[in-house]
């Protein structure tokens, strides 16, 4: 085509032929580019939908307990008192768990993690000579760590079912608790099938040994020391009932679960039987826990669990500390087998001075003895609704002017 023809004006807007050809080429190119862009976007969208989103490693490793995943919490959220410790689900701590842990057991994220090798070395390979006690589901061993720290290692002997539940309850419930009258949990071991709780070691052992063991004709537990033990235990229980959220019912308050340090300061131990309660709720359980002679009658017969069960057990403990007798003792005459019935007989006969532990160096004043016996009897009232709270019990033990002291007995 000659240059003259390309320069010839066309009827379309009077444009030269070459300009019209250029416009057509530009429009065609624009349409082609638009079509390619649309096809490219569609291709990317299909590929994105086909590729799964990669979750972070931390999210992939989280496992949910199937027993609880489908169960909604029946209780509404409870406002948290900022002054009270609040227990929330623990976060996983890198390195704190064992890769070969039992299936279904979550790795724990609280406290110091001890290896099985460390604990076995500290306890002499769980030597029988180092056994210092036996509790619910576990044997307690005395041990010494490499740095010289003395420990009490509770080795759970049954690592399936309830024992695993007990382990989780103990660690979650008391791992962060700090109170003068509660035994402190230092850490744990969760290695393979082993579940071990590591507590602080308390030098003077348990109260049961000092009340019923061979301590000679004169007990080192004076009335003043015994009163301090009563008050200290009451303060520990009060903290469990009113100082934590959710509240804790111990369920197994007894003399063998009261440990004494060098200054005879009592520390409540063995939270393996503890039951966490939601605020304002009474729990019904088909598995009654506790020790014969200390268990509240309504709990034993119905499984109804609340703080008043602990108050009953504490009342039995008060009687045991005063009298130096076991709650149930079949070696005594029939009328003296049950400590509650025996004390009631002695009180009604106005022989209260005869209930005092004969090994006590000095007897308490009649007024102090009378007050303590009255408090103990109120704690073991057969009607749980009539029992005082542990806070009220503590107040009655502390005050000098007690309203019921005018009762004649």
pLDDT tens by residue, the chain, 409 residues: 555 565 666 666 666 766 777 777 887 888 887 777 777 666 555 444 443 333 333 323 333 333 333 333 433 333 334 344 443 333 333 334 443 444 333 344 556 789 999 999 999 999 999 999 886 668 999 999 999 999 999 887 765 555 666 666 667 666 778 899 999 988 888 787 888 889 999 999 999 999 999 888 899 999 999 999 999 999 999 999 999 887 888 889 999 999 999 999 999 987 655 554 544 556 666 556 678 889 999 888 888 889 999 999 999 999 999 999 999 999 999 999 999 999 999 999 999 999 999 999 999 999 999 999 999 999 999 999 999 999 999 999 999 876 665 555 5
* Residue from 192, 213, 204 nearest 142 by CA: 204
> Which residue in the list 252, 270, 310, 357 is annotated as catalytic?
252
The whole-number pLDDT of residue 92 equals 36
Contact 373, 396 (CB under 8 A): no
Do 237 and 322 fall into the same domain? Answer: yes
With respect to residue 22, please indicate whether it lies within any of the assigned structural domains: no
The answer for residues whose C-beta is within 8 angstroms of residue 235's C-beta and 6 or more apart is 179, 180, 181, 394
With respect to residue 10, please indicate whether it lies within any of the assigned structural domains: no
With respect to residue 42, please indicate whether it lies within any of the assigned structural domains: no
Among the three residues 140, 165, 200, which one is the final residue of a domain in this structure? 200
Give counts: helices (H), strands (E), the chain: 13, 12
The whole-number pLDDT of residue 339 equals 97
Do 181 and 235 fall into the same domain? Answer: no
Do 392 and 267 fall into the same domain? Answer: yes
Q: How far apart are the first and last CA of the chain?
A: 136
CA-to-CA distance for 276 and 177, rounded, in angstroms?
Answer: 14
With respect to residue 314, please indicate whether it lies within any of the assigned structural domains: yes
Among the three residues 185, 200, 215, which one is the final residue of a domain in this structure? 200
Residue 154 marked in a binding site: yes
Do 187 and 228 fall into the same domain? Answer: no
Do 271 and 389 fall into the same domain? Answer: yes
Do 126 and 215 fall into the same domain? Answer: no
CATH number of the CATH domain containing 178: 3.30.200.20
Give, in order, the Cα–Cα distances in Å from 272 to each of 140, 154, 172, 196, 251. 12, 10, 11, 12, 9
The whole-number pLDDT of residue 10 equals 65
Do 393 and 250 fall into the same domain? Answer: yes
The whole-number pLDDT of residue 63 equals 32
Contact 320, 357 (CB under 8 A): no
Contact 273, 165 (CB under 8 A): no
Do 285 and 399 fall into the same domain? Answer: yes
With respect to residue 45, please indicate whether it lies within any of the assigned structural domains: no
CA-to-CA distance for 354 and 370, rounded, in angstroms?
Answer: 12
With respect to residue 342, please indicate whether it lies within any of the assigned structural domains: yes
The yes-or-no answer on residue 65 being catalytic is no
The tokens describing 257, both together, are 């679960």
Range of the domain at 116: 92-200
- Phi and psi at 277, nearest 5°, equal -120, 140
In DSSP notation, 251-272 reads S---GGGEEE-TT--EEE--GG
The answer for residues whose C-beta is within 8 angstroms of residue 297's C-beta and 6 or more apart is 312, 382
CA-to-CA distance for 205 and 23, rounded, in angstroms?
Answer: 101
Contact 205, 260 (CB under 8 A): yes
The whole-number pLDDT of residue 314 equals 98
CA-to-CA distance for 388 and 404, rounded, in angstroms?
Answer: 14
Do 143 and 245 fall into the same domain? Answer: no
Contact 374, 402 (CB under 8 A): yes
Give, in order, the Cα–Cα distances in Å from 70 to each of 62, 65, 145. 16, 9, 42
The whole-number pLDDT of residue 59 equals 27
With respect to residue 137, please indicate whether it lies within any of the assigned structural domains: yes
Do 320 and 187 fall into the same domain? Answer: no
Query: What is the dihedral angle through the alpha carbons of 322, 323, 326, 330, rounded to the nearest 10 degrees?
Result: -160
With respect to residue 184, please indicate whether it lies within any of the assigned structural domains: yes
The whole-number pLDDT of residue 9 equals 64
The whole-number pLDDT of residue 90 equals 37
Among the three residues 176, 200, 224, which one is the final residue of a domain in this structure? 200
Q: How many domains does the chain have?
A: 2
Do 196 and 243 fall into the same domain? Answer: no
DSSP 349: T
Do 262 and 385 fall into the same domain? Answer: yes
Q: What is the total residue count of the chain?
A: 409
């Amino acid at each position: 085509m000659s240059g003259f023809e390309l320069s010839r004006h066309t009827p379309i807007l009077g444009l030269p032929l070459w300009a019209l050809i250029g416009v057509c080429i530009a429009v065609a190119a624009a349409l082609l580019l638009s079509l390619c862009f649309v096809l490219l976007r569609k291709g990317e969208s299909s590929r994105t939908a086909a590729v799964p989103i990669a979750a972070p490693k931390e999210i992939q490793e989280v496992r949910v307990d199937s027993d609880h995943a489908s169960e909604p919490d029946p209780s509404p959220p409870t406002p948290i008192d900022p002054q009270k410790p609040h227990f929330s689900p623990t976060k996983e701590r890198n390195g704190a768990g064992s890769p070969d842990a039992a299936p279904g057991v979550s790795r724990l994220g609280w406290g110091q993690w001890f290896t099985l090798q460390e604990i076995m070395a500290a306890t002499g390979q769980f030597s029988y000579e180092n056994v210092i006690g036996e509790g619910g589901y576990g044997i307690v061993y005395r041990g010494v760590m490499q740095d010289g720290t003395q420990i009490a290692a509770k080795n759970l002997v049954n690592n399936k079912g309830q024992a695993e539940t007990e382990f989780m309850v103990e660690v979650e419930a008391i791992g962060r608790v700090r109170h003068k009258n509660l035994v402190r949990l230092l850490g744990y071991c969760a290695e393979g099938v082993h579940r071990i709780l590591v507590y602080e070691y308390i030098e003077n052992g348990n109260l049961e040994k000092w009340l019923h063991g061979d301590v000679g004709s004169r007990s080192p537990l004076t009335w003043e020391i015994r009163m301090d033990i009563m008050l200290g235990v009451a303060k520990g229980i009060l903290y469990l009932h009113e100082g934590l959220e959710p509240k804790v019912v111990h369920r197994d308050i007894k003399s063998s679960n009261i440990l004494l340090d060098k200054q005879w300061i009592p520390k409540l131990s063995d939270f393996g039987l503890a039951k966490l309660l939601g605020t304002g709720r009474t729990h019904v359980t088909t598995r009654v826990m506790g020790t014969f002679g200390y268990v509240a009658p309504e709990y034993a017969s119905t499984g109804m669990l609340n703080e008043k069960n602990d108050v009953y057990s504490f009342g039995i403990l008060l009687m045991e500390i005063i009298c130096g007798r076991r709650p149930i003792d079949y070696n005594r005459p029939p009328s003296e087998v049950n400590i509650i019935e025996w004390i009631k007989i002695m009180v009604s006969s106005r022989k209260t001075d005869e209930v005092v532990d004969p090994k006590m160096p000095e007897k308490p004043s009649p007024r102090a003895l009378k007050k303590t016996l009255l408090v103990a009897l109120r704690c073991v009232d057969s009607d749980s609704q009539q029992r005082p709270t542990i806070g009220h019990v503590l107040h009655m033990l502390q005050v000098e002017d007690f309203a019921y002291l005018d009762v004649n007995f």
